[in-house]
Amino acid sequence: MSIMQRIMRLSSPPVFLRLSAQASCWLGWAAAIMALIGFGYALFFAPVDAQQGDVYRILYIHVPTAWMSMFLYVLASLYATLHWVYRTKVSAVMMRALLPTGAWMTLLALVTGALWGKPTWGTYWVWDARLTSELILLFIYIGLIALASMVEDESKTDRALALFIVVGLVNIPLIYFSVVYWNTLHQGASIGMAGASRMATEMKLTLLLCTLAVWAACAALVLARARWMLLWRESRQDSV
Amino acid sequence: MNQMVIFSLLLALVVVAIDAWSIAALKRKVRQRSLEADS
């Protein structure tokens, strides 16, 4: 079986229902274990920052949730595009299931960022490019969730929702590159694909574990929601 | 330990709990419908 055939097989509702049930369970447990170790280490054992003191530990929550807020949106856009091309039920429920978790991650990133900003910058909020574009992402998520729940028969709004999700994707590069192209109070990336990191290895590994924990938690929640959304659609079809 | 750090962690836990609760509500809705369909 080719890779493409394997991917296409995942869009079959019975296969997706079976795999998502198993995956969400395993990912949930993995998230709990990694969170316990990662956040436990971040709180009690990771070294104190020389300039910021203990308050920098908020970044172990802020950075993974901020990454996840963008990653989940990109993933929703991918499923929205797939839905435009193939119109499968799985792509429709996946793009919908990603939105609430993405919105929660954006809210968490904004609130934890504000809590970190007050003792570090001296203010909870500034209208700089990074913060404002992240706030716009939250508004986009809320708008899309409102659109998704406007009509009782969800399948009728799938295509419109997919279109709006893809249009909203324009905000993601704006968020990511805002600290590069504009003069912002928000600092630039401490970890990048290229070049040496400015973080201590111990802090970087802790952040990596916390990020994996948040990723696994999001994946478990999204897969579980997508599974029940799909079952809801199937039950609607059965009852009609 | 800084109070802001503890508050942030608790907030993250509350957010995950609310998200999980909304999924549980959806699960109950599906089960309710299948029960109604059976009866």
3-class secondary structure for B1-39? CCHHHHHHHHHHHHHHHHHHHHHHHHHHHHHHHHHHHHC
Q: Is B4–A217 a contact, with Cβ atoms under 8 angstroms apart?
A: no
DSSP conformation letters of A149-199 = TSSSSGGGGHHHHHHHHHHHTTHHHHHHHHHHHS--SS---SS-SSS--SS
Q: What is the pLDDT of residue B34?
A: 85
Question: pLDDT tens digits for A104-115?
Answer: 999 999 999 999
d(CA A72, CA A79): 11
Q: Which residues of A touch B12 (CB under 8 A)?
A: 61, 65, 108, 112
Smallest CA-to-CA distance from A79 within A231, A230, A235, A234 is with A230
Q: Output the six-digit token pair for A37.
A: 């170790």
Q: Which residues of A touch B16 (CB under 8 A)?
A: 104, 217, 221
Residue A70, SS3? helix
Q: What is the pLDDT of residue A229?
A: 95
Q: Is B4–A235 a contact, with Cβ atoms under 8 angstroms apart?
A: no
Percentage of chain B exceeding pLDDT 70:
97
The pTM assigned to this predicted structure is 0.92
Q: Which residues of chain A have pLDDT under 50?
A: none
Instruction: Please tell me which of the candidates B2, B7, B37 has its beta carbon nearest to residue A239.
Output: B37
* A78 interfacial to chain B (CB closer than 8 Å): no
Q: What is the pLDDT of residue A239?
A: 59
User: φ and ψ at A228, to 5 degrees?
Assistant: -75, -30
> Which residue in B has a C-alpha nearest to residue A234's C-alpha?
B30
Q: What is the pLDDT of residue A166?
A: 96
d(CA A18, CA A37): 29
Q: Which residues of B touch A224 (CB under 8 A)?
A: 20, 23
ipTM for the predicted complex:
0.93
Q: What is the pLDDT of residue A94?
A: 96
